[in-house]
Amino acid sequence: MSTTGKIEGIVSNLIKISVDGPVGQNEICYIAHDETELMAEVIKIDGDTIAAQVFESTRGLKVGSKVRFTGEMLSVSLGPGLLSKTYDGLQNDLQKMDGVFLTRGEYTDPLEKEKKWDFTPTAAAGDTVQAGSWIGKVKENWLDHKIMVPFDLSGTATIKTIVDEGAYTSDEEIAVIVDENGEERSLTMTVKWAVKEGITAYKNKPRPKKMFETGVRAIDTLNPIAEGGTGFIPGPFGAGKTVLQHALSMHAEADIIVMVACGERANEVVEIFTEFPELEDPKSGRKLMERTIIIANTSNMPVAAREASVYTGMTIAEYYRSMGKKVLLLADSTSRWAQALREMSNRLEELPGQDAFPMDLSAIISNFYARNGYVELPNGESGSITFLGTVSPAGGNLKEPVTESTKKVARCFYALAQERADSKRYPAIDPIESYSKYLEYPEVAADLDEKIQKGWSEMVFEMKDILLRGKESREQINILGDDGVPIEYHVIFNKSEIIDFAILQQDAFNDIDASTPIERQAYMVNIVMNICRNSFEFDNFDEVGGFFIKIINFLKQMNYQEFQSDDFKRIEKELMEHVETRRIDFSQKEKYADESLDMEAELEAKEAGGVDR
């Protein structure tokens, strides 16, 4: 007999329920309201009284309303038909809902139950299988969708029967397996999985060891992320977080894109709905939406479903990872997810932490980020989830709890700077504040050496050193004036500007510059660094700016040309001729390190001589 209960108290979307039987943490229950039932999740158990968060508006609910418990956790349906879908946080198919506004108590099937899929078996009767084993495949859009043994199978099983190649619905029986206890189990193309539990049907989960190519130079060149790695993008409003995520979804080397809009403003999500169906996938030539899943829980949708949406997105990503796919999971913005946690914690009257967030906020974020990663499957294949979340700190404050907690677990930090956004330097990733800890991994460094060129990690640190010294030089020039500092200050500042304009900045509206393959990135970086390592002769600071502006213009023109085309080579030749006009010794790389030696001493000497400030 299932457990039932009745409402004892209501605080916004938190309800207190007295029950007549056992219930479990995170169990789903339904509250009777007029002619419908509202879904809720148990979040706290205290004897015969439990607290549940309702995934709908609680307006109209009354004390005494009846509640029935399902005995099931908050789960998602996994099977063919997920791609190209737009879901809410509870995996309701938004395209199947009627009207402009969502109707309370309306829940839709996430999969196409009536559609027949062309099933091809890849296993045979008598084969031994385990959780996550591939037993067949269907074509989902243009991708192979693997049909797997349910992830809750314990131990091994033997396939008793499996259907022949043919067309079947996702709910039809396609195989029967016999487990180690001799019990038979019927399999369909669909499996259900609780979103709060990770799918662990893999053999091994080593730490990331390969570079994940994104096509965004500010990431790939300076702060590369690993396949199966974690990163986050904090930044103030208007700094370009959403646009950067769009660029990543289009050009990253991922098979599947899962976008979770967990609390973004509705107008930004509408842009996704209108733009994505029209975007061409540069990898396949088809529509990008054909390999994308969108989970939308905007800021004006129920706060409890906002929390569920991030887990729904991660579970779907884990499902495709078990097929051996490279999945890119994007969450925008995890700050709103944390705010949902804060609201529920406050309503439960729990002891608050910093800024009233839950005391265990750091642990919740850490546990969630830990579900991503690169995995080795039992059949010798591999899959990965590369997770990038955005954080929207109030006022751009990077010291607030969500940013700090995320910084502890994410290995890549891509800080968007308001100053760069205001000066139209996009993507506005701050090259000084941002970092990638994957550069410290010997396996990733070896992959960079093999995929790009030997010694790439060392070159990255060399570029960052130039950028840092360029920033310091700019500050001194701003304080003391153009003629108040040595010419070397202007030279090192302009060398940092070359890296900024030619490498870090990228035009998302240009078909060529929007995405840069690794081979081209390495080629351009070598040109830029060869220029930066050289010494040049100038009579005064006025000559410095004009010389380097021409260099920047040549390099920007090269970025807009087809790689190694006639125009590309012509501009490169003109660039080299221009560089030669003031080069002291192009092969004298040691001079690069000597340019700024004792710069402070020179400055002090000038000041002692009575420089007019």
**Alpha helix (H) ranges present in 181-253?**
217-220, 241-251
d(C-alpha 241, C-alpha 440), whole Å: 26
Q: Are 312 and 277 in contact (CB under 8 A)?
A: no
d(C-alpha 555, C-alpha 573), whole Å: 11
Token pair of 79 as six digits: 């099977």
Which contiguous run of DSSP H or E holds residue 493?
helix 487-499
d(C-alpha 90, C-alpha 296), whole Å: 10
Residue that is written with structure tokens 């807009």 in the block: 560
Query: Does 79 show up as a binding residue in the annotation?
Result: no
| Bridge partners (DSSP) listed for residue 596 | none
Query: Does 237 show up as a binding residue in the annotation?
Result: yes
* Residues with Cβ within 8 Å of residue 425, at least 6 apart in sequence: 500, 504, 505
Query: Does 155 show up as a binding residue in the annotation?
Result: no
Query: Does 370 show up as a binding residue in the annotation?
Result: no
Query: Does 238 show up as a binding residue in the annotation?
Result: yes
d(C-alpha 385, C-alpha 228), whole Å: 5
d(C-alpha 199, C-alpha 183), whole Å: 23
Residue that is written with structure tokens 């940013």 in the block: 403
Which contiguous run of DSSP H or E holds residue 267?
helix 266-275
Query: Does 240 show up as a binding residue in the annotation?
Result: yes
Task: Please enumerate, as own/partner, the contacts of 415-418 that have beta carbons within 8 Å and a separation of 24 or more.
Answer: 415/233, 415/234, 415/235, 416/233, 416/234, 416/235, 416/236, 416/239, 416/240, 416/241, 416/244, 417/235, 417/239, 418/235, 418/236, 418/238, 418/239
Binding residues for ATP: 235-242
Binding residues: 235-242
